[in-house]
């Protein structure tokens, strides 16, 4: 299969491209490197140093004997090319507008390109579980059967996004579904949970193949951040009560889910949704997991929540469709946390403690960007 990965230089786009290449697919990657420019703007950097895309592609060919094109593909498009941070979208008006235009207009342009070039192309789009919010009912996979005043229909599941970033994903979903309906496109929306991890079977083959490891208050994911805090002796910072519960998955499972979606395309005109996560944890549970796995002493602090969200809530989401296609998940075991801690320890000299604290506050219309500090590690 020929597969084009949009955003192929990113945290997930790059390891997905490697995985699909190793699995025998003809893979091309496209990226405008804007994610790297966010680091300069925020004054932060990936914990694990990453090479240029050109160097990565050359190293992959030297290590594997497999070639990745910089742009190619005429059957499947895997779309990771969006601004992916909720806090970034909430900094101020400029960043909210940028996120919505970049994500929504970018996807709309892609839909027109597919419709005009070849409507049989299968679009695999990275969505987010954050589209749903935290309703007091079970979350279904994309659609829900509703009976109202004696009539029944299957409708898109109601959305309660928690940031302008998540809103952009909701708009994407609506636009993609509309494109499938009017142009007969075929698309898979992968509503992904929070991803943890940094190493895959392909990225460990050579240091030049490493993907990002973000831990800062804007782009860092919660488990990665907790591991960094533990290693450098910084208290684990839990926002609010810590009862915020989210779907989670190992980075290796992201790769498997994308390939399963590619190998099992939808019918013409079909818009389908997979909830892409394997387990659910509260923020407090994740902090406790790190504290238990770390060999030293760990302190857990509760900070005032900078976001507007429920700090304790019901959360139960369906996620059976990928399992039915054959996904065998990597669950969050203590050994997985220890492997993350080991990655952090190897790069502890690159930790910038000033980047960890939350600086973006949902209740404000403008938050000051964090200033860069010295590289400090305990």
So which residues are the catalytic ones? 128, 165, 169
Q: In degrees, to the nearest 5, what angle opens at C-alpha 297 toward C-alphas 294 and 298?
A: 75
Is residue 205 packed enough to be buried (19+ CB in 10 Å), middle (13-18) or exposed (0-12)? Answer: middle
Cβ neighbours, 10 Å, residue 153: 10
For residue 101 the two structure tokens come to 């235009």
Sign for the CA dihedral angle at 134, 135, 137, 138 comes to negative
Element (H, E) at 38: helix 34-42
What is the separation of C-alpha 234 from the centre of its chain, rounded to a whole number of angstroms? Answer: 25
Query: Who's near 58: CB < 8 A, 6+ residues apart?
Result: none
Q: Are strands 279-282 and 245-250 parallel, antiparallel or unpaired?
A: antiparallel
């Amino acid at each position: 299969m020929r597969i084009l990965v949009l955003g192929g230089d990113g945290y997930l786009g790059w390891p997905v491209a490697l995985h699909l290449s190793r699995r025998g697919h003809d893979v091309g990657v496209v990226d405008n490197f804007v994610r790297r420019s966010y680091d300069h703007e925020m004054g932060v950097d990936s914990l694990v140093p990453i090479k240029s895309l050109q160097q990565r592609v050359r190293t992959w060919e030297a290590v594997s004997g497999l070639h990745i094109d910089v742009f190619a593909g005429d059957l499947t498009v895997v779309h990771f090319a969006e601004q992916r941070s909720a806090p970034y979208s909430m900094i101020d008006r400029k960043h909210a507008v940028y996120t919505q235009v970049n994500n929504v207009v970018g996807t709309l342009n892609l839909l027109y390109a597919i419709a005009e070039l070849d409507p049989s192309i299968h679009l695999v789009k990275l969505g987010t579980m954050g589209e749903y919010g935290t309703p007091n009912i079970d979350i279904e996979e994309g659609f829900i059967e509703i009976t109202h005043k004696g009539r029944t229909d299957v409708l898109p599941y109601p959305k309660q996004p928690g940031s302008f970033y998540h809103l952009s994903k909701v708009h994407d979903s609506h636009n993609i579904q509309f494109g499938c309906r009017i142009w007969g496109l075929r698309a898979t929306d992968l509503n992904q949970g929070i991803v943890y991890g940094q190493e895959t079977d392909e990225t460990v083959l050579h240091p030049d193949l490493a993907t990002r490891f973000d831990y800062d208050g804007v782009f860092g994911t919660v488990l990665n951040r907790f591991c960094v805090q533990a290693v450098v002796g910084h208290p684990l910072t839990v926002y609010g009560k810590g009862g915020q519960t989210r779907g989670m998955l190992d980075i290796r499972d992201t790769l498997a889910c994308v390939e399963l979606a590619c190998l099992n395309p939808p019918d013409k005109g079909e818009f389908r949704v997979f909830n892409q996560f394997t387990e659910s944890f509260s923020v407090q549970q994740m902090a406790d997991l790190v504290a238990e796995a770390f060999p030293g002493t760990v302190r857990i602090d509760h900070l005032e929540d900078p976001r507007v969200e429920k700090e304790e809530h019901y959360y139960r989401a369906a996620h059976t469709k990928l399992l039915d296609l054959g996904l065998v998940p990597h669950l969050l075991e203590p050994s997985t946390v220890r492997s993350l801690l080991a990655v952090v320890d190897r790069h502890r000299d690159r930790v910038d403690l000033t980047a960890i604290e939350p600086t973006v506050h949902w209740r404000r219309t403008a938050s000051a960007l964090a200033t860069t500090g010295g590289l400090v590690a305990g």
